[in-house]
Chains A and B, each alone.
Chain A
Amino acid sequence: MNPDFIFHRERPVSDVPALIRLCLLLALCLQLVWHGLQPPLEARAKDLPPPLPVRAYIMASLGEPVAAGRYLDLWLQAFDDQPGVSLSFNQLDYHRLTQWLDVILELDPRGQYPLLLAARVYGSIRNPEKQRVMMEYIYTRFNKDPDRYWRWLAHAVITAKHELRDPALALKYADALASRGSKVPYWARDMKIIVLEDMGQLEAARILTGALIDSGEISDPYELKFLTNKITELEKKSLKKRQTVEK
């Protein structure tokens, strides 16, 4: 490529009138002085604004709702990292956060990203109150479409059981998993048995396990064996418990 194409041949600097050169230097100094007089830039954290109506985002993306939803996923995920400031999730308004997640799901109803953010990002902080907001959000979403969102409710069962240490809440979610949705796999439905067992309701757990086997929906021999062993184990535990009470 001809270098003249990139670097145009120009006249020497000395051809520029001295007054112009002087004015250029003065203008540059003026800009530097002007900048020096301005108040220094300060990093300020911004609150999460309320979301606009869904149609506003569709219009802003020129009718590409899926792309708009994907962009908002990333924007929301990175909202805690603002220029010069890093927010903790505790500082975010979780009820507003759920409004944003709703907007994103309306833009891209087939996406799982907002539920992942609810379960594993915003739902994993050490603030039980905020964790509950996220788990309830997942529960609400699961109720609207169990087959699509069951895995996030399975995550909510674990969170309620091990992090919130609220067996009643874990049972509520596990019960929903066991009773709704045709595509919920058996291991997720089995969670109710584990929660019941944990709560000491051994008889209920045993009956539920037996019902699962009797339903004929489980054909995998390994899973059947696992459940049969589970019944034996539960019966042993029940017996032991009864003997302890009698003593």
Chain B
Amino acid sequence: MPSPIPAIARYTVMESMRNRLLLLCLLLAGTAFVLIEFIGELTITEHRLTQVALLAAFLRISAVLVVALFVVSGTVRELHDKTLEMILAMPVHRASYYLGKLAGYSVIALLVCLIFAGLLLFYADTQALLVWAASLFLELLLVVALALVMLFSFSQVPAALAAVFVFYGAARIVGTIFLISQSPIIAHDSAAQKFMDGFIELLTWLLPDLHRFTRSEWLAYNTADWSALLPLLGQTLVYLCLLAFIALFDFYRKNF
């Protein structure tokens, strides 16, 4: 019997397309374009630099929102419509279903990434943009895997989405919080303070280094370098494995 993974991936992509993924992405890109042109009119100097920095930051967060929304809402609907039960009633391993979903949503992440990078072509240097887009794709892969973990854990759209955004936000700012905790304005030696410092340090060990990904300054100052992608690729592979096994662990324990 052929592997069911490609079929599950294909239907995942088709379902997202039918849920008007492209329309949403184009609407977001159009809104971003109008907004950035307006901002361009407000700037007095460093016109392109300001536009590209703000546009890159806006598109990055938009891409994460779109991908998380489609992964969570699409898969939770499958859970509630009993489609998942129907698939699992067939000779399909739970791991195959998970990998099919992961592959399908990775294609969606790539599409979102290409559409948004296409808009940035008007403003940014091509080589820097390629590095930025590759980094965004890696970041979106982590968001896809994270969303799958959260929806298997919570099975409800609001709870799963909230958990994804809290986790994602924490991963992006945990480095800054850690630096703040290392140099407090008033030093305390209380047990509570030590506990908080230890907890923050633990988070820096457990969360992925998303603050190193997809930086808008790469595009603003053309500082992007292909070698910058290597550590990002390493982090993505490591954390993708971790998230995949968390999701599978949870998925195999579920009763339907």
Contacts and interface: CB of A to CB of B under 8 A. Distances in A.
Interface residues of B, number: 29
Most buried by A among B39, B50, B61, B169: B50
Tier of interface size on chain A:
20 to 34
A112 B220 CA distance: 13
Nearest to A66: B217
A74 B50 contact: yes
A61 interface: yes
Interface in B41-55: 42-46, 49-50, 53-54
A120 B43 CA distance: 13
Contact of A70 (B44, B50, B60, B169): B50
B216 A63 contact: no
Chain A residues touching B, majority SS: helix
A1 to B, nearest CB: 11
A111 B217 CA distance: 11
A71 B54 contact: yes
Contacts of A62: 61, 169, 172-173
Given A64-B57, A67-B56, A55 B45 contact: no
A108 B42 CA distance: 19
A66 B216 contact: yes
Contacts of A64: 53, 57, 60, 215-216
A63 B175 contact: yes
A67 B57 contact: yes
Interface of A: 55, 58-59, 61-67, 69-71, 73-74, 77-78, 108, 110-113, 116-117, 120-121
28 contacts: A58-B176, A59-B177, A61-B57, A62-B169, A62-B172, A63-B173, A63-B176, A63-B210, A64-B60, A64-B215, A65-B217, A67-B53, A67-B57, A67-B216, A69-B53, A70-B53, A73-B43, A73-B50, A74-B50, A78-B42, A108-B217, A111-B46, A112-B46, A113-B43, A113-B44, A113-B46, A116-B45, A121-B44
